[in-house]
């Protein structure tokens, strides 16, 4: 399949892609964009774009950091549930159940308004080097989102680890590989391959969980759009632009993950 595609030259590919239904959809989208540009109020954009860019940057780094750290946590969580002894698997299972069973907003507020408001009672914390960080909002947002991602992805990784055929692991052992080597070369890579399609979905969901940090005074892109709404009393314009921004980020994420998935040999197991 992939071999044929490279043979077709660029012009032919473009004409293949520009089918009638796609042209109609593009025209409709163009009409919507032009309509929005000419019939709505956008005079607030110059005043807020800098704040908006900063907001997008914050949303993106929060997404990247929490997904990365969350995934690092998810691997041991999944492994413990799939193959660990009882005293490993039970706490891991309990963690995933609690995280998946409670709304993220509650976890976030428990950390920020609950845990975070306990710290200042202790003078030694107030005087320590950690205090400038602990009094800010973003560490709580990052922690809550990381734990949430780890909870969901831990469950996915459990299934992925369990799904790698036993025969492969037995064959690796027969080759005389150590347990660590089996994990690193056989078990983990195949589990990640299996989990990848789900990982795309989880990352997109995580993107759409990030606006919750606006409720604890982190100025992400959602908070910026709320501010525009409250300052200018416009309802649709900032919300529509916000929706468009999230859609664009989602599009880029899905595209990036599909490229990664395409690199994986499709015959595994």
Partner 1 sequence: MKTVLKTFAAALLLGVAAMGVAKADPVKIGVAAEPYPPFASPDASGKWVGWEIDFIDAVCAEEKLECVITPVGWDGIIPALTTKKIDVIAASMSITDERKKTIDFSDKYYNTPTAIIGPKDQKFGATPDDLKGKIIGVQVSTVHAVYAKKHFGATAAEIKEYQTQDEANQDLAAGRVDAVQADSIALGEFLKSDQGKGCCDLKGMVAPDLEVLGPGVGAGIRKEDTELKDKINAGIKAIRANGKYEEISKKYFDFDIYGEDSQSN
Q: Which residues bind partner 1 (CB under 8 A)?
A: 113, 116-117, 119-120, 126, 135-137, 215, 217, 226-227, 229-231, 233, 235
Closest distance to partner 1 from the beta carbon of 117 (Å): 4
Please say which residue, 234 or 253, places its beta carbon nearer to partner 1: 234
Task: Using the minimum distance from each CB to partner 1, give the nearer residue, 36 or 137.
Answer: 137
Beta carbon nearer to partner 1, 37 or 118 = 118
Q: Least CB distance from residue 146 to partner 1, whole Å?
A: 21
CB of 51 to partner 1, least distance (A): 12
Minimal distance, residue 113 CB to partner 1, in Å:
7
Nearest to 53 by CA among 196, 216, 221: 221
Question: Are 173 and 200 contacting, i.e. CB atoms less than 8 angstroms apart?
Answer: no
In the bound state with partner 1, the residue whose beta carbon lies nearer, of 168 and 232, is 232
Q: Are 214 and 137 in contact (CB under 8 A)?
A: no
Question: Between 54 and 192, whose beta carbon lies closer to partner 1?
Answer: 54
Quote the CA–CA distance of 44 and 195 in Å, as a whole number.
43
């Amino acid at each position: 399949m992939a071999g044929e595609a490279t043979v077709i030259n660029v012009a032919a590919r473009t004409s293949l892609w520009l089918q009638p239904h796609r042209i109609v959809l593009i025209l409709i989208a163009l009409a919507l964009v032009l309509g929005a540009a000419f019939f709505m109020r956008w005079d607030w954009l110059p005043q807020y774009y800098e704040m908006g860019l900063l907001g997008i940057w914050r949303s993106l780094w929060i997404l990247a950091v929490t997904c990365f750290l969350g995934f690092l946590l998810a691997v041991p969580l999944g492994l413990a549930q799939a193959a660990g002894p009882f005293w490993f698997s039970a706490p891991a299972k309990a963690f995933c159940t609690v995280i998946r069973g409670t709304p993220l907003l509650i976890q976030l507020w428990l950390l920020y308004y609950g845990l975070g408001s306990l710290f200042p009672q202790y003078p030694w914390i107030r005087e320590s080097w950690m205090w400038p960080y602990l009094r800010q909002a973003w560490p709580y947002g990052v922690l809550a989102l990381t734990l949430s991602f780890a909870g969901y992805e831990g469950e996915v990784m459990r299934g992925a680890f369990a799904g790698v055929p036993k025969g492969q692991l037995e064959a690796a052992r027969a080759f005389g590989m150590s347990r660590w080597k089996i994990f690193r070369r056989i078990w983990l890579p195949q589990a990640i391959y299996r989990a990848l399609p789900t990982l795309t979905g989880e990352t997109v969901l995580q993107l759409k969980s990030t606006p919750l940090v606006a409720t604890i005074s982190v100025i992400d892109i959602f908070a910026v759009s709320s501010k525009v709404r409250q300052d200018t009393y416009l309802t649709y314009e900032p919300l529509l632009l916000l929706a468009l921004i999230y859609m664009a980020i989602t599009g880029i994420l899905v595209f990036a993950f599909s490229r990664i998935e395409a690199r994986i040999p499709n015959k595994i197991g």
